[in-house]
Amino acid sequence: MKKFDLTKRILDSGALAVVRATPSRVVEIAESIVKGGIDVMEVSYTNADAPEAIDAVHKTLGDQILVGAGTVLNAPTAKDAIAHGVGFIYSPMFDTDVASLCNEYQIPYAPGCTTVTEAVTAMRAGATFIKFFPYGGLLGSEVIKTIKTPIPYMPLLESGGVTVENVVDWFKAGVEVVGVGGALTKGSTNQITANASELRKKIDSFRHHG
């Protein structure tokens, strides 16, 4: 049950690092977040050397971290990422060809959707998580609560505007997973580890006590 196992790993972590960086920095970030207790990251295909970065993380950390591909806009890019052994596909938009490919290879897919209609269409096409983009980052956690009221079972992944300080607000509003940029990718390796550890603590505490 490959897709189930991968999805569960993303859910268990509850947070993933959203990374756009050089391969050596990507490896540095990966090591730092794993040390802090977060073992999922996505490497953005905005950078041409994304495949190289993904390979480098696999080589350095193996199964200690689940690496996904981000900013995947079309099926050829998704196919390339899957060939490099990614564990999920993450995108700012929804594409039916990417959805089909991910289902075929049993890889979780988190497309970016702007409207509720688009989000439900993506769910029907088998999307694993829905990333409300770009509104989550602009409007804050209220948007999640609003969507979850009529469609409580929509699996939401929020990326944009998530910080160590406000992470619990997003979970209270109903997200399943958060994608974190700045706090898990900027600053010294020690700072990244400290932020990862703080996120881990807050997510676990919320899940156990509400």
Q: Give the domain CATH number at 201.
A: 3.20.20.70
For the cut 90, the answer to whether the pLDDT of residue 94 exceeds it is: yes
Q: How confident is the model at residue 183 (pLDDT cuts 50, 70, 90)?
A: very high
Peptide bond into 134 cis (omega under 30): yes
Residue 210 pLDDT > 90: no
Q: Give the chain's mean pLDDT.
A: 96
Cα 171 from Cα 78, distance rounded (Å) = 29
Q: Give the pLDDT band of residue 164 (cuts 50, 70, 90).
A: very high
* pLDDT of res. 138: 86
The pTM score is 0.96
The boundaries of the domain holding residue 175 are 2-209
Residue 189 has pLDDT above 90, yes or no: yes
Residues 6+ apart with CB under 8 A from 75: 95, 97, 98, 100, 101
For 101-155, write each residue's pLDDT tens digit. Answer: 999 999 999 999 999 999 999 999 999 999 999 888 888 999 999 999 999 999 9
> What's residue 136's pLDDT?
80
Contact 126, 106 (CB under 8 A): no
Supply the pLDDT for residue 199: 98
Report how many domains make up the chain: 1
